Structure 1
Amino acid sequence: MKIYRRLALGMASSLMLSACTVGPNYQPDRMKLPAGFKEAAQEHPATPEEIARTNKEMVEWWSLFQDPLLSRLVDEAIKGNYDLQIASQHILAERAVRDRAASQWYPQLDANMGGGDVRYSLNIDNWPIRPGNPMNRPEASMLTYGATASWELDMFGRIRRDVEAHEREVEATIEGRRAILMGLLSELASDYMLLRVTQLQIKIATDNIRVARDALDLTNRLYSEGVGNTLQTAQAQAELDAQIAQREPLKTRVSQVTHAIAVLLGKMPGELEDELKQPRDLPHVPEFPAVLPSVVIANRPDVRVAERKYALATAQIGVAVANLYPHFVVPLTFNPNASAMYQAFQANAMSWQFLLMASMPLMHGGKMTAEVRASQATAEAARLTYRQTVLQAFKEVEDSMAAWHDDIEYAEQLHKAAQDSATASERARKLYSAGLVGFLEVLTTERTTLNAQNMEALARLERLRDAVNLYTALGAGWKGVALTNSTLPVSLETQNVLAKAFSQ
C-alpha cells in the first residue's frame, strides 16, 4: 500500500512540476492615437507647471467653479448616493466570486460522522454473513465517521485562467463604479447650474413684471389724462398677465431640480429646498485646461472598462482551451464503520482510499472546440469594442472642446444683444410717455428685451455645461474616491468555530 501511495505522490509531484498554462496571454491592443486633440488649439508646448496644474484640476474639477456650496454637495453625494453604494457592493461581490474561483487551487476537505440502526433484506439468495453479526440477523447498529477530500491539479491552467478572468471582471466592475461616479458628478453639476440659471431667469421675469406693471400704471395715467385709450390699457394689462404667467413654470423647474439634487445626495426630495432655493450668483466659468495630451483618454472609465473586458475575454479563451486537455484529481476518502463505539477506532474498522484520477475528453461532437471558437470570437469582439469606445471618447472630447470655444462668442453676442434691447426698451417707454410713439412699440421692445435676457441666461448655462461636459468627457473626477464596504450585520467571526479557523 505504501508503494502505491508513494507512486501517486510521485506522479502528482511530477505533474505539478510540468504544469503549464494554455491559451493566449493578454496583450493590450495598441491603437495609433494623435498626440493631442484638434480642438485643444495649443499654441505652444506645455510647460511642467501647466501639466501639474492640469493634473490637479482633473482630480476635483468641480472646485474650479468657485462655488463652495457646489463643492459641499459633491462631497455629500459621494458619501450618500445610493447608486454609488450599490456599485461598491457589486465590486465586493465580484471579489468574493474571484476568491471562490481561487479556492479551486486548494484541497477541498469535508468531515462527516453519523450512526443509527439499519435493517437488511433476507430475501436475497447467497446473502453474505456480515462481520460482527454471525447470526445474520437483519438488524444492525452502525457508527461511522471520516473525511473526504479532493484536489484538482491545475496542470494546464484551467483554474489559473478562470481566476484571471474573474480578476479582470473585478477590475471592470471597479471601472464601472467609476463611470457611475463620473455620471453622478456630471448630473449633479449640471442640475446645479440649471438651478442657478433658472433662478436668474426668475429674477429676469420678476424685473420684467415690474416693468410691465409700470407700463400699465403709465397707460392708466395717460388714459385718465385723456391722452391714452382703452386699447392701450388692455394691451398693458395683457402684457403684465403674460409676464406673470411666464414666471410660474420657472418656479416649478426650481422645485423639480432641487428634488433631483436631493435624491442624488441620497436624501428625501424637499430636504434641501430651504438651502437651494436661496438665489446665489452663477458659478464661475473655469479657464480652458492649459494642456490636454490625448493620453488623458485613458482616465475615462468606459475606455478602461472596455480594456478590462477585452482582458477578461482573453483569459476565457484559456479556460476553453484547457478543457481540451486532461484533468487530474486526487480523491481521498477515510470512512471507518463499526457497530459499537469501542470498535470504531480499531484497525478492522478502517476504510480509506487515496488515488490519482485522470480524465480526458475524447468525443463530444465538437462541443469543446466550438467553445474555443466562441471564446475567440468573443475576445475579438471585445477588442473591437475597445477600439470603438476609444474613438467615441475622442469624439466626445473634441465635441466638448468645440462647444466650449464656439459658445464663448455666442454668449458674448447675446450679452450685447440683451444690453442693446434693454436700452431700446427704456427709450421706447420714455418716447411713449412723451406721446411720440405708440404703445405697440413699447410692447415690442419689452418682449425683445425679455427674449434677449432669457437667451443670454441660457447661453451662460451652456458655458457652464460646456465645462462640465469637457471634464466629464476627459474622464476626470474619479481618482481618490474610496470604496464603501458592506454594513450588513453579518460577519464570519460571529459564525461557528470552524469558520474562525479555516477559510471556507
Structure 2
Amino acid sequence: MSSPVFRQPRRRHLPALALAAALGGCAVGPDYHTPAAPTDARLTEAPLLGQTVSAATPGGTAQRLTVGRDIPGEWWTLFHSPQVTALVRQALAGNPTVTAAQATLREALQNVRAGQGALFPQLSASVQAQRQQASLAAFGLGSGTATFGLITGAVNVSYTLDAFGGIRRQIEQLNAQAEYQRYEVEATILTLAANVITTAINEASLQAQIDITNDIVRADNEALRLMQQRFQLGGVSQVEVLQQQSLLDAKVATLPDLRKQLQQTRNQLAVLLGGRPAGYTMPTLKLNDLTLPADLPVSLPSKLVEQRPDIRAYAALLHAAYTGVGIATANMLPQITLTGSLGREGTDLPNVFTPSGLVWSIASSLAQPIFEGGTLLARRRAAQAALEVAAAQYSDTVNVAFQNVADALVAIQRDAEALHAALAAEKTAAASLAMTLSQYEAGAGSYLAVLTAEQVEYSARLTLQMAQAARFTDTVALFQALGGGWWNRDDIDPKTAHCCGVLP
C-alpha cells in the first residue's frame, strides 16, 4: 500500500473552503476507505502440496491442507486433549493481560460516549446569592453606607456549530481508537492461547527428553557395572571401562540443563495461567495424549486481512490517522459558537419571581485563527506525516502476516518430512546398535564401535522426539497465523461494542 500524499491548501483559498464546508455541512479532511485486499494468488513462493507425508509414530499423522476451510473459534479443541483445553480456558480466565485488554476497551468505549456529547447543546444551571455593603459617598449621596442583596439564578446554554466537521472527526477518531482496542483484545486472546499450548508442548518435549536420557543413563550404568565385573575378571581392558564411564558421564551432564529448561518452562506456564511459579501444580502434558489435526485450513490471501486481528487493529489506527488530518484542518477554520442564558434576578427572593425579575441573553460568536506562529499549519503537516506513518505500518503488518502464514505452511510441510526421516534414522540407529552389540559380544567388533553406535542411537531418539513436538507446535503456529477463528467466538459483549458503533 502506497503512502498517502497531501497538498497544503493555500491560505487565500481558506475563506472559500470555509464557506463551502459551512454550506454543505461536510467534514473537512480525507475520508477513510478500507485498504484494498491483496490480490496474491497464493501464500507461499511455491504451490502448496495438498497433503503432508506421514510417519508411523505419534505426531506423524498426514495433514491435509484445505484452502478456504473455516477455523473454529476454540481451535485448540482440535487437539482432542482435555488438559490443553483446560489450560487455555484457565489462562483466558486468569491472565491479567486479558483483563487489562478488556478494561482498555471499556475505557475506549466510554471515551467515545464522552466525545459524542460534544454534538449536543451544553446546559448548566447556576444560582448565586450575595450581600453587599456600599458607601453612599461613592455615588454622591452623602456619607454613610447602604446594604443590599442580589439573588441570581440562570440556565445557560452553549452550542458549538460543527460546520466543518471537526467534532465529528474527533468522534470518528475515538471510534477508530475503540475499534483498535477491540481487535487488541482478540490479538491478546489469540497470542495467549497459542503461547499456552506451545509452552505446554515444549514442557512435554523436555520431559520426554529427560525420560529418554534417564533410560540411557540406566542402561549405561548397567553396562558400566558389567564392564567393571569383566575388567576384574580380565575380560576387558581398563580403556574400555573408562570409555563406558566417559559416555555415562556425558549423558548425566546433559540432565541439569534439561531440568533447568523444564522448570523454567513450567514457571512460564504458571505465569501464562495467571499465577506464580510457587503455586503451579499442573501435571506435565504427554505428547502421546495429543491428536494431530488431520485437516488444516488455508485462508485465501484476500481473506487473511479480515481474519488477522493485528491487521484489523492497524487498519483502525490508519483510520484514526485519517481523522487526525481532518481535525487539524478544522482547527484552521472558523469556530462558530451559540450561547444563551435565561434566568431570574432580584434584590430579594420575592422580587426574583416578578415579571421584572426575568433576565435573558443570546449571543453568537465566530473565531477565525489569523496568526498563531505557524502552530496550526505545523500541526496539520504533522497529522499528514502521522497518516503516512500509519499507512506504512499497516502495509508492513500485512506483509509480516503473510510471512507468518507462509512460514507456518512451510514448517508443516518440511517438519512432516523431517519426522518421517527422523523415524527412519531412529530405526536404523537402533538396528545398528543391536548388531554392533551382537558382534562385540561374539568377539568380532570393538567396544568403541559399540559406544559410537549407542551415541548415534541416543541422538536419533532425541531427534525423533523433538520432531514429534515440532509437528504440534507448527500446527499451533498456523492457527495463530491465520487469526485463530475469533470471528466464531463471543469474546466481547456485542451490546457493549454496538453502543458506540465499534462493531459493524
TM-score (normalizing by structure 2):
0.82
- Single out whichever of 356-365 and 470-479 deviates more from structure 2: 356-365
Is residue 2:394 matched to residue 1:386?
Answer: yes
User: 1:91-120: per-residue Cα shift (whole Å, max 9, x none)?
Assistant: 111111111111101111122224344455
Give 3-state SS (helix, strand or coil) of 1:356's partner: strand
The within-5 A match list for 1:89-108 is 89-108=103-122
C-alpha distance in structure 1 between counterparts of 2:67 and 2:235, whole Å: 69
Give 3-state SS (helix, strand or coil) of 2:204's partner: helix
- What is the deviation of 1:340? 2.8
- What is the deviation of 1:172? 0.9
The within-5 A match list for 1:487-498 is none
Is residue 2:406 matched to residue 1:398?
Answer: yes
Amino acid at match of 2:445: V
Corresponding residue for residue 31 of structure 2: 25
Corresponding residue for residue 83 of structure 1: 97
Pick the aligned partner of 1:62 from 60, 76, 85: 76
Amino acid at match of 2:97: D
Amino acid at match of 1:96: Q
Amino acid at match of 2:419: A
CA contact (8 A) 2:128 2:152 kept: yes
- Single out whichever of 95-104 and 260-269 deviates more from structure 2: 260-269
Which 5+ residue runs of structure 2 have no aligned equivalent?
1-20, 52-64, 495-504
Give 3-state SS (helix, strand or coil) of 1:330's partner: strand
Corresponding residue for residue 299 of structure 2: 292
CA change 1:249–1:42 in 2 (3 A) is closer
C-alpha distance in structure 2 between counterparts of 1:369 and 1:31, whole Å: 34
C-alpha distance in structure 1 between counterparts of 2:93 and 2:140, whole Å: 73
Corresponding residue for residue 220 of structure 1: 228
The within-5 A match list for 1:305-320 is 305-320=313-328
CA contact (8 A) 1:23 1:317 kept: yes
CA change 1:155–1:415 in 2 (3 A) is same
CA change 1:277–1:28 in 2 (3 A) is closer
Which 5+ residue runs of structure 1 have no aligned equivalent?
1-14, 486-504
Is residue 2:281 matched to residue 1:281?
Answer: no
TM-score (normalizing by structure 1):
0.82
The within-5 A match list for 1:65-464 is 65-120=79-134, 122=135, 126-127=138-139, 137=145, 139-273=147-281, 275-277=282-284, 279=286, 281=288, 283-287=290-294, 289=296, 291-298=298-305, 299-334=307-342, 336-464=344-472
Higher relative contact order (CA 8 A, sep 6+): 2
C-alpha distance in structure 2 between counterparts of 1:267 and 1:224, whole Å: 56
CA contact (8 A) 2:334 2:367 kept: yes
Identical amino acids, percent of aligned pairs: 25
- What is the deviation of 1:319? 1.6
Corresponding residue for residue 483 of structure 1: 492
Amino acid at match of 2:33: Q
- Single out whichever of 232-241 and 399-408 deviates more from structure 2: 232-241
C-alpha distance in structure 1 between counterparts of 2:285 and 2:84, whole Å: 13
C-alpha distance in structure 2 between counterparts of 1:399 and 1:277, whole Å: 28
- What is the deviation of 1:246? 1.9
Give 3-state SS (helix, strand or coil) of 2:153's partner: strand
Amino acid at match of 1:345: F
C-alpha distance in structure 2 between counterparts of 1:138 and 1:105, whole Å: 47
Two-structure CA RMSD over aligned residues (Å): 2.9
Amino acid at match of 2:328: A
CA change 1:36–1:59 in 2 (3 A) is farther
Amino acid at match of 2:288: D
